[in-house]
Amino acid sequence: MRTFHSSAEVDAGFGPSAVTIGKFDGVHSGHRAVIARLVAEAEAAGLVSTVVTFDRNPLSVIAPERCPDSLVSLDQKLALLAETGVDATLVVHFDEAFAAIPAERFVTEYLVEALHVQRVYVGSDFRFGARNSGDVALLAQLGEHHGFSVHLIDNVVGSAGERVSSTRIRELLAAGDVAEAGRLLTREPAVRGLVVHGAKRGRELGFPTANLSPASEGLVPADGIYAGWLVDHGMRYPAAISIGNNPTFEGVPQKQVEAHVIGETIDLYDHEVEVVFVDRIRGMVAFQGVEALMAQMAEDVRVARALLGSPA
């Protein structure tokens, strides 16, 4: 997948293209269905399949008080988009200047002049341009003028009949339901970050953990204990994962992500790793003493092994 970080980076001879536009936060099953259609129809028509997305949620500029946390970082999003088979992605820097661009100018500069678009795929509620002044009807009118067609995309529903959306996935992660979130994402949710030094309490208790930097990428699920995987340089290790402030001890920072690699002792300090969540084992609770905590940690590891199919 070719990636352009501004319209100026797009080659003069790029295209002709088929384009879809959106935030694509999480690149979930709904997004993947849209992109699969784009890729298939672009290939059949001899066009370059292209995603236009943004380097941040537009709400962070337009209405920051209403902007939700992102499911993935920009780097994670681009990696996920590359997996879909799309030919190219144009990342638009969304700032106040871009937010003020009139709808007609957006179409002319980005879709027509930069991408040489012939087909545009959008949902029926698609809006664009300053103050969301552009809608599908205006896009179709501009298409007639500039020579591209507009194709509407239906909402994608899950197996339970619900609309697949980034908002719904955020709600599931906030509730700790990583298994259901993974079903809608078509992949297990994950965070990525640098392993840093912690208080080493886990090591002292016989359960050493890899502590992720607070600056990790990806939306961290609700506090609790999870079964999952730690991925380091392509190697996947079964893990019991703790999220929270460890209420048994005082002075532990909020929302700490700690992964105990099951059955292996690995030096992970200063490694950038991915922590993948498969299922939630329990919520976070305070224990009366270290012995009770250690007994529960041993049980958590046993349950994690069972959930992951990892032999004892």
CATH classification of the domain holding 257: 2.40.30.30
- Range of 258's domain? 189-308
Are 11 and 77 in the same domain? yes
Does residue 184 fall inside a structural domain? no
- How many residues are recorded in the chain? 312
Does residue 237 fall inside a structural domain? yes
* pLDDT band (50, 70, 90) for residue 296: confident
Question: For residue 263, what are the CA distances in angstroms to 37, 157, 310?
Answer: 43, 40, 10
Mind listing the pLDDT tens digit for each residue in 137-166? 999 999 999 999 999 998 777 666 678 999
CA distance 300 to 282: 8
Name the domain boundary from 153, 174, 199.
153
Please, are residues 188 and 227 in contact by the beta-carbon 8 Å criterion? no
CA distance 77 to 79: 5
Are 22 and 134 in the same domain? yes
Does residue 207 fall inside a structural domain? yes
| Number of structural domains found in the chain | 2
Does residue 212 fall inside a structural domain? yes
Does residue 211 fall inside a structural domain? yes
Are 137 and 210 in the same domain? no
Mind listing the pLDDT tens digit for each residue in 108-143? 999 999 999 999 999 989 999 999 999 999 999 999
The pTM of this model reads 0.90
Are 149 and 210 in the same domain? no
